[in-house]
Amino acid sequence: MRFRLDVRYSDYDTKEHVNNAVYLTYFEMARARAWLEEIAGSTDFPFVVAEATVRYRSQARLGDPLDITIWTSEVRTRAWVWQYRIVDARDERLVAEGSTVQVMFDYETRRPMPIPEELRERLAAMREPAPAVR
């Protein structure tokens, strides 16, 4: 899925670009929205984020309209990988990309657990979109 990020003035730092740490918050916003609208709805599938990577490609400057895309690139037994791409919505200029690894987690035993089949199918359905044509 792809949607417009609601960038806040406080996201920018003294260099007049989005601060590097804020990108993980943008990724989290994408996860929350994908989870709500494409994956789980009100069903609870507990997971933890085990790893996150951001590659900064160009600056997101004051006022740049940013679109984020999230998709699934891999589904393993107990974990899956989400990919993210953030672009300037005006010209598809790549601003940042990255990924996070999620592990299905049983909060009672505090151990990883297999991904339920129902979730596996929905995750797999979140495919990488074709690139926007300008």
Out of 48, 94, 124, 125, the only residue in the binding site for a copy of itself (CB under 8 A) is 48
Out of 1, 43, 53, 73, the only residue in the binding site for a copy of itself (CB under 8 A) is 53
Q: Counting contacts by CB under 8 A, is residue 18 touching a copy of itself?
A: no
Site for a copy of itself in 93-112 (CB under 8 A): none
Size of the site for a copy of itself (CB under 8 A): 29
Q: In whole angstroms, give the CA distance from residue 90 to residue 40.
A: 31
**Phi, psi of 58, deg, nearest 5:** -155, 165
22 versus 115: smaller Cβ distance to a copy of itself: 22
The alpha carbon dihedral of 26, 98, 78, 119 has a sign of positive
Among the listed ranges 48-56, 65-73, 81-89, 114-122, the one in contact with a copy of itself (CB under 8 A) is 48-56
Segments of the chain assigned E as strands: 2-4, 47-56, 66-75, 79-88, 94-106, 111-112
Among the listed ranges 26-34, 77-85, 111-119, 120-128, the one in contact with a copy of itself (CB under 8 A) is 26-34
Other beta carbons less than 10 A from residue 60's beta carbon: 27
DSSP 31-50: HHHHIIIII-TT----EEEE
Strand partners, 83: 71, 99
Among the listed ranges 46-54, 74-82, 86-94, 111-119, the one in contact with a copy of itself (CB under 8 A) is 46-54
| Residues making contact with a copy of itself (CB under 8 A) | 6, 8-10, 12-14, 16, 19-25, 27-29, 32, 48-56, 62
